[in-house]
């Protein structure tokens, strides 16, 4: 039995992925440039020393610049790893800070404070996700407020009828039935 699975981007959007790839390539390119520049610098120094000493050592030509290549690549590797660490730390702060803010505000919404809105900083990731959550919370707040208003109207009508005990039961039903129908209509919004 073969199932077709579609890849879903739930949290990470293409803009975020593009920025991450661009930063990754920039740091990699910088590491390569530093490595080549450092190797050239060290190689030219060694070649100048050999030429100015007027004596060419008897060594295999492949080993003449081996030490310089190892040193240049080692230093470039350390600098590149450091740059990767700093860039990834910055990205992590943008992501974890936004997720923490979203989680705190979602807990408030879960507790019933539907007027809560998620406010992220300008450069934080997940802005689209937070906007969708804010829209959802706003819609829930609007719907529950409407239900609460309808319920309060029915409650007031029932109290009024209880106070007016000599009123006609048919008139009382005619007054409450439209309010109950409006409440049912409000409740049906959740079924859509």
Q: What is the pLDDT of residues 7-22, one digit of tens each?
A: 555 555 566 677 777 8
Confidence of residue 61 (pLDDT cuts 50, 70, 90): low
Q: What is the pTM of this model?
A: 0.54
Handedness of CA 128, 130, 132, 138 (dihedral sign): negative
Residue 137's pLDDT is: 87
Please tell me the chain's helix, strand, coil percentages from 3-state DSSP, rounded to the nearest 5. Answer: 75, 0, 25
Residue 169's pLDDT is: 66
The least confident of 11-15, 112-116, 180-184 is 11-15
Beta strands in the chain (DSSP E): none
Span 40-46, average pLDDT:
79
Residue 33 has pLDDT above 80, yes or no: yes
Decide: 186 and 150 in contact? Cβ < 8 Å.
yes
Half-sphere exposure of 105 (CA within 13 A, CB side): 20
Q: What angle do CA 53, 55, 61 make, to 5 degrees?
A: 110
Residue 148 has pLDDT above 80, yes or no: yes
Handedness of CA 169, 175, 177, 180 (dihedral sign): negative
The least confident of 5-9, 49-53, 146-150, 152-156 is 5-9
Decide: 36 and 69 in contact? Cβ < 8 Å.
no
CA distances from residue 92 to 20, 120, 135, 166 in whole angstroms, order as listed:
11, 15, 26, 71
Mapped onto helix, strand or coil, the DSSP state of residue 121 is coil
Residues ≥6 apart with Cβ < 8 Å to 31:
76, 77, 79, 80, 83
Q: Which of 105, 95, 104 is nearest to 127 (CA)?
A: 95
Ranges of H-type helices in 54-125 = 66-110
Residues ≥6 apart with Cβ < 8 Å to 104:
none
């Amino acid at each position: 039995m073969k199932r077709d699975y579609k890849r879903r981007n739930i949290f990470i959007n293409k803009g975020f992925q593009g920025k991450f790839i661009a930063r990754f390539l920039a740091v990699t390119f910088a590491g390569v440039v530093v490595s080549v520049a450092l190797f050239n610098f060290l190689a030219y120094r060694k070649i100048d020393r050999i030429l100015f000493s007027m004596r060419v050592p008897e060594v295999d030509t492949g080993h003449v610049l081996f030490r310089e290549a190892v040193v240049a690549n080692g230093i470039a590797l350390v600098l590149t790893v450091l740059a990767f660490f700093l860039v990834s730390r910055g990205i992590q702060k943008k992501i974890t800070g936004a997720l923490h803010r979203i989680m705190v505000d979602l807990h408030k919404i879960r507790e019933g404070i539907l007027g809560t809105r998620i406010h992220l900083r300008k450069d934080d990731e997940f802005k689209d996700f937070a906007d969708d959550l804010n829209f959802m919370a706003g819609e829930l707040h609007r719907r529950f407020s409407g239900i609460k208003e309808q319920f309060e109207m029915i409650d007031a009508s029932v109290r009024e009828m209880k106070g007016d005990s000599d009123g006609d039961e048919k008139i009382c039903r005619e007054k409450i039935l439209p309010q109950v129908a409006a409440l049912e209509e409000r409740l049906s919004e959740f079924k859509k």
